[in-house]
Chain A
Amino acid sequence: MRALRGPAALAAAGALALAGCGAGGTAPAESGNGAGGSLTVFAAASLQQVFTELAGAFEQQHPGTDVVLNFAGSSDLATQITAGAPADVFAAADTRTMDQLAAASLLAGEPEEFASNTLTIVVPPDNPAGIDSFADLAEPGTAVVVCAPQVPCGAAAEKAAAAAGTTLQPASEEASVTDVLGKVSSGEADAGLVYITDARNAAGRVTAVPFAEAAAAVNTYPIAAVDGSGQQQLAAEFIDLVTGGTGRQVLSAAGFGLP
């Protein structure tokens, strides 16, 4: 009578474990194990479009070279590099994560700042709450979604709010820009704070409402070669590409500011 209960419970427990595997988590991308002509670049998620384009250009300039890209949140990437992930170049979305690696002596050279990004308000295309300034975000009953202060976009949102002299009462403090965009584009939130480049990528699903106070919260993007990389030469050339003319052109086309 009870013979089947055990297996049934086990099956359910097994399914529990399987379902658990689906939850979040960023796996490190396949590593290029440094084999001749392969350059592994770890870059902040917001650089995905730009760096994919630049990696293509780099491969064209260096026939036989394979650029392996790994995109994730800057602090995730820093954690992976600290844990020994095989990166040759690291490009972060803020100076804080880069400073952490520098302090741990994991960089091969001085980080170079190559881009900047500024916050913007995003609203659903029909702008249901009629948002057209930063002060509107503080109106009671407005569902505003921001990044949590622990992540770079959230720290920037706090700075912008301080500059505007308002305190936001967010409905939610998300862990990433993507989650903020998702809440706004689905119409769950009346407004959100993301970077200009994110808003541009999501054009059509959200409308950007620029605000003056954003100038107080500009994020700088540093890039550096990682210590112990077997591709110092290629790494230096890739960094030159990003900080040089081609890089500047691609970055500004995507909405990034230039240092």
Chain B
Amino acid sequence: MARSAHPAGYSGLPRWIMVPAALGFGAVLLPLAALAARVDWAGFLPLVTSASSLAALGLSLRTAAASTVLCLVLGIPTALVLARASFPGQQLLRALVLLPLVLPPVVGGIALLYTFGRRGLLGPALEVAGIQIAFSTAAVVLAQTFVALPFLVVSLEGALRTAGHRYEAVAATLGARPTTVLTRVTLPLILPGLASGAVLAFARALGEFGATLTFAGSLQGVTRTLPLEIYLQRETDPDAAVALSLVLVAVAAAVVGLAYRRTLSGALGVGGR
């Protein structure tokens, strides 16, 4: 809102900053342009509509959607506790929960292996329950959730802190129970933050590679998501790898673009009132 309102013609920026900024834009955009330039357009459609490509794309969309739902189910309470509750060790817990943001995904995969694997921490219990996670689509969803959850938590906690306590306090003094306050006041207030967090989580899940490779394996239609398919195709068919990479870039760009538009219009809608 007020941040973007500045006198016309004055950006408040020294001119020289345009040079490193241009380099910054280039650092991201140039490799993407180079990728697009490498696409074999004549063969693009057959390459991206082959059975293995479609299976990988379908699996990626399904697992990323499932892990986004799981992220919401687990992430909303986590963010609420981190933002609203107060207990000893909270700072440490927050840092630990956000750890997957900076962890190499392979490390996440190894950690998951020793948690949910057949010989992992929960392995024997899962086996008794008749749940087989190894080499299943569930393993993919777990890996994606592990790496994507912090994105949801971090953007949701920010939204919660920004929204403040005021409306919740008012609702409580008017006699609303905590659950009512949560569902009728808190969650509607942070809806835009929730949406952008969910989209970030979805995008991160879609791009998940290292943890999936380490923990879930790679089998067409079961565990081989689009990034794994690209990694494998590269071995024999670089053209297919490039074409699929472009598909992944397009899907990710669409998702992020959609989210920012919705967040922006949501923000404007609230701000107008």
Q: Which residues of A contact B (CB under 8 A)?
A: 1-6, 8-9, 11-13, 15-20, 22-24, 73, 75, 79, 143, 145, 148, 150-151, 170-175, 179, 182-183, 186-189
Contact = CB atoms under 8 A, between A and B. Distances in A.
B154 interface: yes
A143 B213 CA distance: 16
Contacts of A4: 158, 161-162
Interface of B: 1-3, 28, 100-106, 113-114, 117-119, 134-135, 147, 150-151, 154-155, 158-159, 161-164, 192-193, 196-197, 200, 203-204, 207-210, 213-214, 216-220, 223-224, 227-228, 231-236, 238, 263, 267, 270-271
Contacts of A6: 3
Contacts of A3: 1-3, 162
A15 B151 contact: yes
Contact of B135 (A15, A79, A172): A172
A182 B28 CA distance: 34
Contacts of A2: 1, 162, 192, 267, 270-271
Contacts of B162: 1-5, 8
B102 A18 contact: yes
A187 B235 CA distance: 27
A179 B236 CA distance: 18
A5 B161 CA distance: 10
Contacts of A79: 234, 238
A5 B192 contact: yes
A8 B158 contact: yes
A172 B217 contact: yes
Contacts of A151: 232, 235
25 contacts: A3-B3, A4-B162, A5-B155, A5-B193, A8-B159, A8-B162, A9-B158, A9-B200, A9-B263, A11-B154, A15-B151, A23-B209, A24-B106, A24-B231, A73-B235, A148-B218, A150-B232, A171-B219, A172-B218, A173-B217, A174-B213, A186-B114, A187-B118, A188-B217, A189-B135
Given A150-B236, A179-B213, A171 B267 contact: no
Summarize B's interface: helix, strand, loop or mixed.
Answer: helix
Contact of B217 (A11, A174, A187): A174
A19 B108 CA distance: 11
A24 B217 CA distance: 14
B135 A171 contact: yes
Contact of B147 (A19, A24, A187): A19
A188 B28 CA distance: 38
Nearest to A14: B101
A16 B200 contact: yes
Given A2-B267, A22-B210, A148-B232, A183 B217 contact: yes
Contact of B105 (A5, A23, A171, A173): A23
Contacts of B151: 12, 15-16
Contacts of A20: 207
Contacts of A189: 134-135
A113 to B, nearest CB: 22
Contacts of A145: 135, 217
A15 B102 contact: yes
Nearest to A2: B267
Contact of A150 (B135, B155, B233, B263): B233
A11 B228 CA distance: 27
Contacts of B218: 148, 172-175, 179
Contacts of B135: 143, 145, 171-172, 188-189
A150 B230 CA distance: 12
Most buried by B among A6, A172, A182: A172
A129 to B, nearest CB: 12
Nearest to A174: B218
Given A5-B159, A179-B218, A186-B114, 20 more contacts: A1-B164, A5-B158, A5-B193, A8-B155, A9-B200, A9-B263, A12-B154, A18-B101, A22-B210, A23-B208, A24-B209, A24-B210, A79-B238, A143-B134, A172-B135, A173-B220, A175-B228, A175-B231, A175-B235, A188-B135
B115 to A, nearest CB: 12
A174 B223 CA distance: 11
A186 B200 contact: no
Contacts of B227: 23
Contacts of B158: 4-5, 8-9
Contact of A170 (B155, B208, B219, B231): B219
Contacts of A8: 154-155, 158-159, 162, 193
